[in-house]
Amino acid sequence: MSEDNPPPTQAPGASVTEIPVVQEPESGQKLLQFLQRRLNLPQAMLHRWVRTGQVRINGSRCKPFSRVQTGDTVRLPPFAMKMAAQCDSASPAPEGKEQRKDDAAEDGPPLPPLVGKSGYLWAFDKPAGLPVHPGTGHEDSLTTRLACHFARASFMPTPVHRLDRGTSGVILVAASYAALDETQRALRANTVHKEYVAWVAGRWPHEQTCLVRHFLRKEAVNGFERVRPVRAAAPDAKEALCLVRALSVGDRASLVQVRLLTGRTHQIRVQLSSLGHPVLGDAKYGQARAGATLYLHSLRIALPEGPAFTCLPTWSGPHALTALPEGIACDQLACRPPSCPDGAFPLGEDAATISPLH
């Protein structure tokens, strides 16, 4: 990744009136993706232009899924730029406002605080309550704020992964296609170090770091998605693994640190609730009222052979966390027996390794 990319307060221009030359953030994309971002025209139309030879890369015929590289010139039909400009002018502006791309960053809500960057990969501290993507009942989201602030960027900065709406903390955003693809590959391979902190109900019973294992399945309940623990042999069951370490233990609540070994929807919330220690403020898997503060925070994300991004939660009072805890190591920890049931299993000191990590 290049270190010359602009910081997350700027956006390189990529107007449709310019010669369509592939910029570094766009490199590696499929041609159709490149054209859709630059022209904002229907995919079927762009596909037809490519198929009939009206679009060429460096003067040569190409296919819709050909990959574009930095410096490539993309020849378009002579009427393409005019159509794109007409499409932009016909797009509805926000209610009560005239559409002005140059002022988009000033008119939109602010981006979350930036906690670090490495090349085209940025880390933000997402506040609790801000969803990553827009959805029913809420238009404001991290994605829409990025789109507003970088309306003229050659590649729209894109969240690499998800955090629940109520979860705060570190979230990665890619400002180039290559950064997005590379980081998502690492996430799928479970080579990204992701740690959370959470306040849970009751006294956490284990002094040692525990390996927590369940099998989870998504289900639809009253029209809403819910994740449930199921038997290992159940249809669509997926193994969920994490390491849990107590940081502070009390009779009514305990602070725990969690390192994910797999990435399942609502994994931490479901697994801790299944052990009888739901996350405080969790109305879906616990006993909290709707709208309560969810005490779950993305504390640390470290890429393989890359930097680590960290930020502390903004919790106050008895729930405050003022010092960054050390990371939970994955090597030289005892592995659970292959036939062990679901639950939490304290790890010994016999220098074994956790087999799922390999």
Residue type, 4: D
| Secondary structure letter of residue 48 according to DSSP | H
Q: Where are the beta strands (DSSP E) in the chain?
A: 56-57, 60-61, 74-75, 114-118, 121-126, 158-159, 168-174, 193-201, 210-221, 224-229, 238-249, 253-260, 296-302, 308-310, 343-346
Span between the terminal Cα atoms of the chain, in Å: 27
The structural domains of the chain, with segments of one domain joined by +, span 24-168, 190-357
What's the pLDDT at 151?
A: 82
CATH of 24-168, one of 2.30.29.30, 3.10.290.10, 3.40.120.10, 3.40.50.300: 3.10.290.10
Q: What is the pTM of this model?
A: 0.81
Can you tell me whether residue 260 is helix, strand or coil?
Answer: strand
Longest CA–CA span in the chain (Å) reads 72
The catalytic site residues sit at: 164
Give the C-alpha separation, 335 to 337, whole Å. 6
Q: pLDDT tens digits for the chain (358 residues)?
A: 444 455 565 545 444 434 578 888 888 888 988 888 888 788 888 889 899 988 998 888 989 889 999 989 898 888 887 787 776 555 444 333 343 444 444 567 899 999 999 999 999 999 999 999 987 777 889 999 998 888 888 888 999 999 999 999 999 999 999 999 999 999 998 889 999 999 999 999 999 999 999 999 999 877 788 999 999 889 999 999 999 999 999 999 999 999 999 999 999 999 999 999 999 999 999 988 988 999 999 999 998 887 899 999 999 999 999 999 999 987 534 444 455 678 888 886 543 344 443 3
> What residues pair up with 199 in beta bridges, in sequence order?
255
Q: 24-168 and 190-357: same fold?
A: no
User: Strand 238-249 vs strand 253-260: parallel, antiparallel, or unpaired?
Assistant: antiparallel
Which one-letter amino acid corresponds to residue 185?
A: R
DSSP letters, 137-192, are TB---HHHHHHHHTTT-SS--EESS---TT-EEEEEEESSHHHHHHHHHHHHTT-S
The residues that bridge with 60 in the sheet, in sequence order, are: 57
- Under 8 Å CB-to-CB from 249, ≥6 apart: which residues? 203, 204, 255
Burial of 71 per CB tally in 10 Å (0-12, 13-18, 19+): exposed
As a whole number of angstroms, the distance between CA 199 and CA 196 comes to 10
The class (CATH top level) of 190-357 is: alpha beta
**Contacts with 115 (C-beta within 8 Å, 6 or more apart), sequence order:** 123, 124, 125, 170, 309, 310, 311
Alpha-carbon distance of 94 to 107, in angstroms, equals 10
Cα-only R_g, the chain = 23
Report d(CA 295, CA 173) in Å as an integer: 23
Reading the block at residue 67, the tokens are 């990959």
